[in-house]
A and B are shown apart, each in its own frame.
Chain A
């Protein structure tokens, strides 16, 4: 069964460092998303991406965040200068075309900023 793959599963980084989270969406999907879940809080939308550009972003997705689809298979989230409050589980998701499709989520990357 096709699945969304995220790497690494766990990343520890020092405050102020840049991190890149990697995702391989399902191959025929065209819509890509990043969500995050701070421990004990709800899953929050960060950004959606379609046709090689951001289609929507939340208020969380400020200038320190960026997304990229560097090739035909990968979808990355970069955090330029990490803060302690960026510690969270980051989920990548993808979905196909059509109004009744759903988002398929990856296993998540747990980011710990120390």
Chain B
């Protein structure tokens, strides 16, 4: 079975500080992993995805994530937070098949202070 745990429902950082949003997954098969972002009153937008190629994945808006199989983790980072990064971030796992359902974590609300 597939599942995702996001540690910390709320993360607050100062503008310019490192952003670290944690995601651990459970999967019975090699996973496909995703980070989505949801801005207020908007839908889910893909930030980045891991599909078994490079373990360090770069996404949009300066975000990146590293797949660590030994730790079953796929943490999202950004070296320097910007006010516009304030949003809710969702980690999701898919079993692999294109048609496979996504299993989402509970989400992490990122607040960026000036």
Chain A contact residue count (CB 8 A cutoff) = 31
Q: Are A107 and B43 in contact, with the CB atoms below 8 A?
A: yes
A77 to B103, CA, bound (A): 20
Asked whether any CB of chain B lies closer than 8 Å to the CB of A13, the reply is no
A101 to B32, CA, bound (A): 10
Stretch at the interface among B16-24, B60-68, B72-80, B90-98: B90-98
User: Please, which residues of chain A bring their CB within 8 A of the CB of B97?
Assistant: 99
User: Please, which residues of chain A bring their CB within 8 A of the CB of B98?
Assistant: 31, 95-99, 101
Asked whether any CB of chain A lies closer than 8 Å to the CB of B25, the reply is no
Question: Interface code A41-68, partner B: CB below 8 Å = 1, 0 otherwise?
Answer: 1111100101000011010000000000
Q: Are A106 and B102 in contact, with the CB atoms below 8 A?
A: no
Q: Are A45 and B44 in contact, with the CB atoms below 8 A?
A: no
Q: Are A56 and B101 in contact, with the CB atoms below 8 A?
A: yes
Identify which of residues 1-60 in chain A touch chain B, using a CB-to-CB cut-off of 8 Å.
4, 6, 31, 33, 35, 41-45, 48, 50, 55-56, 58
Which chain A residue shows the least CB distance to B101?
A: A45
User: Please, which residues of chain A bring their CB within 8 A of the CB of B42?
Assistant: 107
Q: Which of A35, A50, A58 contacts B99 (CB 8 A)?
A: A50
Q: Which of A42, A56, A108 contacts B107 (CB 8 A)?
A: A42
Q: Are B46 and A104 in contact, with the CB atoms below 8 A?
A: yes
Known A31-B99, A58-B101; contact A100-B43, beta-carbon cutoff 8 A: no
A34 to B53, CA, bound (A): 28
Asked whether any CB of chain B lies closer than 8 Å to the CB of A75, the reply is no
Known A99-B96, A100-B51; contact A45-B43, beta-carbon cutoff 8 A: no
Chain A: minimal CB distance from B29 (Å)? 12
Q: Are B99 and A106 in contact, with the CB atoms below 8 A?
A: no
Q: Which of A41, A91, A99, A103 contacts B106 (CB 8 A)?
A: A41
- Residues of A bordering B, CB below 8 Å: 4, 6, 31, 33, 35, 41-45, 48, 50, 55-56, 58, 91, 93, 95-108
Q: List 17 A-B contacts (CB under 8 A).
A: A4-B43, A41-B106, A42-B104, A42-B105, A43-B90, A43-B107, A48-B99, A48-B101, A91-B43, A91-B44, A97-B98, A99-B96, A99-B98, A100-B51, A101-B98, A105-B44, A105-B45
